[in-house]
Structure 1
Amino acid sequence: MAGKSRKKFRIIMSSLLSLLLIVGVGANIALAYYSDVITSYFSKIDITTPEAQEARAHSEKITQLITDEGIVVLQNNDSMLPMTENKKVNVFGWSFTAPVYLGSGSGAADASTAVTPKAGLEAAGFEINEQLYNDYVATGIKRPVSGIEGYDWTIPEPVASEFYTEERMKQAAEFSDTAVIFIARAGGEGRDLPSVLDGPDTYDPNGSTMGPSGERFGNPDDLDPNKHYLELSTRELGMIDAVTKHFNKILLVVNSSNTFELDWVRDYSQIKSIVTVAGPGQTGFASLGKVLAGELNPSGKTVDLFAADVLDAPAMQNFGDYNYVIDNGNGSYSLAADKNNVPLTYVNYSEGIYIGYRYYETAAAVGAINYDEKVMFPFGHGLSYTTFNQEVVPGSLTWNDTDISAQVNVTNTGSVAGKEVVQLYYSAPYTGKIEKSSIELAAFAKTGLLEPGKSETVTLTFKVEDMASYDYKGAYSSTGSYVLEAGEYQLLLMKNSHDKIADVASQTLAEVVYNTDGRSSDQQTAVNQFDDLVTGMGSIESYLSREDGFANMDVLKTSDTYTVATEEGESQQVRGTIVDAAFVDYINSKRYDIPADKQENAPTTGADNGKKLSDYVGVDYNDESWNDLLDQMSVSDLVSLGTLGGYRTLEVTSVGKPATVDYDGPAGISALLSKDPMSGVAFPSETMLAQTWNIELAKAMGEAVGAEAVAYNVTGWYAPGVNIHRTAFSGRNFEYYSEDGLLSGKFAAEVTKGYQSHGGIAYMKHFALNDQENNRVKGVLTWSNEQAMREIYLRGFEYAVKEGDAHGAMSGFNSIGNTWAGASSALLKEVLRNEWGFKGIVNTDFFIQPSYPYMIADLAFRSGNDILLTGVAPFGVPTINEKSNDALWALRENAHNVLYTVANSNGIENRSSTDMPQWMVITIIVDIVVALGIIAGFYFVFRKRKPAAPAAA
Structure 2
Amino acid sequence: MEEKKNNGNKWFKPLLIVAIIAVIAFVIYKQVTNMLFGGAVAVSMEDVYSTIKACAPALIVAGVVIVAAIVVSVAVMKKATKTKKLIRWESVIAVILAVVVAANWICLDIQYSLLNKVLTGSKGLSEETRQASLDLGEEITGEGIVLLKNEGNALPLSTDTKLNVFGWGSTQPTYGGTGSGSVNEESAVSLLDGLKNAGFELNDELSKFYTDYRADRPVVGMGEVDWTVPQPTMAEYDEKNIFENAEEFSDTALVVLTRSGGEGMDLPDKYSTDCNYNKTQQGGDVIYSTNEDDIDTNKNYLELTNREQEMVDRVTSEFKNVYVVVNSANPMELGWLDDYENIKAAVWCGGAGETGFNALGKVLSGEINPSGRLVDTYVYDLSATPTSNNYGNFTYANSEEITGSEENVAKFVNYVEGIYVGYKFYETAAVEGLIDYDSTVQYPFGYGLSYTTFDESITDIEDDGTNITLEVTVTNTGDVAGKDVAEVYYTPPYYNGGIEKASRNLVEFAKTDILEQGESQTLEISFAYEDMASYDDQVNKSYVLEHGDYEITLNTDAHTVVDSKTVTVEKDIIYNDENDGKRSTDKVAATNQFDDARGEVTYLSRENGLANYEEATAAPGNVEMTEEEMQVYIAKNTFDAADYDDPDAEMPTTGADNGLTIQDMKGLDYDDEKWDKLLDQLTVDEMSTLVADGGFHMVGIDSVNSPETTDCDGPAAISSNFNSSIKGSAFPSAVVIASTWNKELAKERGTQMGKECNELGVTGWYGPAMNIHRSAFSGRNFEYYSEDGTLSGFMGGNEVAGATEQGIMTYVKHFAMNDQETNRTNGLCTWATEQSIREIYLKGFERAFKDGKSLAVMSSFNSIGARWAGSNSSLLQSVLREEWGFHGAVDTDAMDPLADFYMDLNSGIRTGLTHGLSMTGGDGLIENTDQAGTVIALREAAHENLYAVANSNAMDKETGTPDWVKIFIGADVAVLLLLAIGEYLVIRNYRKEN
1:827-842 superposed matches below 5 A: 827-842=875-890
Are 2:106 and 1:30 equivalent residues in the alignment?
A: yes
Shift of 1:125: 1.1
Contact 1:37 1:874 in 2 (8 A): no
Shift of 1:35: 2.6
Shift of 1:917: 3.0
Corresponding residue for 1:779? 827
Residue-by-residue CA offset, 1:156-188 (whole Å, 9 max, x unaligned): 222233224582201111111110000111111
Residue-by-residue CA offset, 1:821-864 (whole Å, 9 max, x unaligned): 11111111110111111122211111256852211112111111
Shift of 1:754: 0.7
What TM-score results when the alignment is normalised by the length of structure 1? 0.90
Are 2:214 and 1:137 equivalent residues in the alignment?
A: no
Letter in 2 for 1:648: H
Contact 2:224 2:286 in 1 (8 A): no
Are 2:529 and 1:464 equivalent residues in the alignment?
A: yes
Counterparts of 2:370 and 2:85 in 1: how far apart (Å)? 83
Shift of 1:450: 0.2
> Secondary structure of the residue that 2:775 maps to in structure 1?
coil
Contact 2:458 2:564 in 1 (8 A): no
Contact 1:210 1:217 in 2 (8 A): no
Residue-by-residue CA offset, 1:201-230 (whole Å, 9 max, x unaligned): 4769999x998xxxx843222222222211
* Structure 2 CA distance for partners of 1:153 and 1:201, relative to 1, 3 Å: farther
Letter in 2 for 1:402: T
* Structure 2 CA distance for partners of 1:634 and 1:42, relative to 1, 3 Å: closer
Corresponding residue for 1:373? 439
> Secondary structure of the residue that 2:132 maps to in structure 1?
helix
Are 2:172 and 1:95 equivalent residues in the alignment?
A: no
> Secondary structure of the residue that 1:358 maps to in structure 2?
helix
Corresponding residue for 2:306? 234
Counterparts of 1:262 and 1:685 in 2: how far apart (Å)? 22
1:92-491 superposed matches below 5 A: 92-165=166-239, 167-199=241-273, 201=278, 217-326=289-398, 337-338=403-404, 341-393=407-459, 396-431=460-495, 432-474=497-539, 477=540, 480-491=541-552
Shift of 1:921: 4.4
Corresponding residue for 2:929? 882
Corresponding residue for 1:47? 124
Counterparts of 2:252 and 2:291 in 1: how far apart (Å)? 29
> Secondary structure of the residue that 2:490 maps to in structure 1?
strand
Shift of 1:884: 2.4
Corresponding residue for 2:623? 577
Corresponding residue for 1:944? 990
Contact 1:204 1:210 in 2 (8 A): no
Residue-by-residue CA offset, 1:308-332 (whole Å, 9 max, x unaligned): 11222112221111111139xxxxx
- Of residues 845-854 and 182-191 in structure 1, the stretch that sits farther from structure 2 once superposed is 845-854
* Structure 2 CA distance for partners of 1:882 and 1:340, relative to 1, 3 Å: farther
What TM-score results when the alignment is normalised by the length of structure 2? 0.86
Letter in 1 for 2:385: A
* Structure 2 CA distance for partners of 1:340 and 1:22, relative to 1, 3 Å: farther
Residue-by-residue CA offset, 1:473-512 (whole Å, 9 max, x unaligned): 12xx2xx011112222111111100111122234354211
> Secondary structure of the residue that 1:425 maps to in structure 2?
strand
Shift of 1:644: 1.6
- Of residues 54-63 and 461-470 in structure 1, the stretch that sits farther from structure 2 once superposed is 54-63
Corresponding residue for 1:331? none
* Structure 2 CA distance for partners of 1:677 and 1:321, relative to 1, 3 Å: farther
- Of residues 38-47 and 480-489 in structure 1, the stretch that sits farther from structure 2 once superposed is 38-47
> Secondary structure of the residue that 1:106 maps to in structure 2?
helix
1:792-803 superposed matches below 5 A: 792-803=840-851
Contact 2:894 2:917 in 1 (8 A): yes
Counterparts of 1:437 and 1:850 in 2: how far apart (Å)? 39
Corresponding residue for 1:518? 582
Counterparts of 2:401 and 2:322 in 1: how far apart (Å)? 50
Shift of 1:193: 1.3
Shift of 1:625: 2.4
Counterparts of 1:351 and 1:944 in 2: how far apart (Å)? 87
- Of residues 235-244 and 784-793 in structure 1, the stretch that sits farther from structure 2 once superposed is 235-244
Shift of 1:44: 4.6
Residue-by-residue CA offset, 1:3-36 (whole Å, 9 max, x unaligned): 5677667767765764565455334423331132
Counterparts of 1:922 and 1:617 in 2: how far apart (Å)? 33
State the identity %. 42
> Secondary structure of the residue that 1:900 maps to in structure 2?
helix
Corresponding residue for 2:694? 645
Corresponding residue for 1:505? 566
Corresponding residue for 2:671? 622
Corresponding residue for 2:26? none
Residue-by-residue CA offset, 1:37-70 (whole Å, 9 max, x unaligned): 133245555325xxx3222121112112211100
Are 2:601 and 1:541 equivalent residues in the alignment?
A: yes
Which 5+ residue runs of structure 2 have no aligned equivalent? 1-76
Are 2:745 and 1:697 equivalent residues in the alignment?
A: yes
Letter in 2 for 1:356: G
- Of residues 585-594 and 858-867 in structure 1, the stretch that sits farther from structure 2 once superposed is 585-594
Counterparts of 2:982 and 2:937 in 1: how far apart (Å)? 55
Shift of 1:191: 1.3
Shift of 1:452: 0.1
* Structure 2 CA distance for partners of 1:197 and 1:481, relative to 1, 3 Å: same
Contact 2:634 2:902 in 1 (8 A): no
Counterparts of 1:79 and 1:750 in 2: how far apart (Å)? 35
Shift of 1:880: 2.5
Corresponding residue for 2:640? 593
Counterparts of 1:914 and 1:145 in 2: how far apart (Å)? 42
Residue-by-residue CA offset, 1:657-708 (whole Å, 9 max, x unaligned): 222222121113221x126474211111110001000000001001111111
Residue-by-residue CA offset, 1:770-823 (whole Å, 9 max, x unaligned): 111111111111111100000000000111111111111111111111111111
Contact 2:403 2:635 in 1 (8 A): no
Letter in 1 for 2:490: Y
Contact 1:47 1:53 in 2 (8 A): no
* Structure 2 CA distance for partners of 1:640 and 1:942, relative to 1, 3 Å: same
Are 2:852 and 1:804 equivalent residues in the alignment?
A: yes
> Secondary structure of the residue that 1:528 maps to in structure 2?
coil
Counterparts of 1:543 and 1:281 in 2: how far apart (Å)? 39
Letter in 1 for 2:771: N
Corresponding residue for 1:612? 661
Which 5+ residue runs of structure 1 have no aligned equivalent? 328-333, 562-575, 949-953
Letter in 1 for 2:177: G
Residue-by-residue CA offset, 1:72-91 (whole Å, 9 max, x unaligned): 01111122110126410100
- Of residues 335-344 and 437-446 in structure 1, the stretch that sits farther from structure 2 once superposed is 335-344
> Secondary structure of the residue that 1:232 maps to in structure 2?
coil
Letter in 1 for 2:568: Q
Shift of 1:925: 4.7
Contact 2:377 2:423 in 1 (8 A): yes
The two structures, once aligned, show a CA RMSD in angstroms of 2.8
Letter in 1 for 2:608: D
> Secondary structure of the residue that 1:323 maps to in structure 2?
coil
* Structure 2 CA distance for partners of 1:2 and 1:354, relative to 1, 3 Å: closer
- Of residues 178-187 and 507-516 in structure 1, the stretch that sits farther from structure 2 once superposed is 507-516
Letter in 1 for 2:892: T
- Which residue, 38, 48, 59 being the options, matches 2:133? 59
Shift of 1:348: 0.7
Alignment: residue pair count: 907
Corresponding residue for 2:872? 824
* Structure 2 CA distance for partners of 1:307 and 1:912, relative to 1, 3 Å: farther
Shift of 1:130: 1.2
Structure (1/2) with the larger helix percentage: 2
> Secondary structure of the residue that 2:220 maps to in structure 1?
coil
Corresponding residue for 1:566? none
Corresponding residue for 2:592? 528
Letter in 1 for 2:873: S
Corresponding residue for 2:10? none
Counterparts of 2:395 and 2:207 in 1: how far apart (Å)? 46
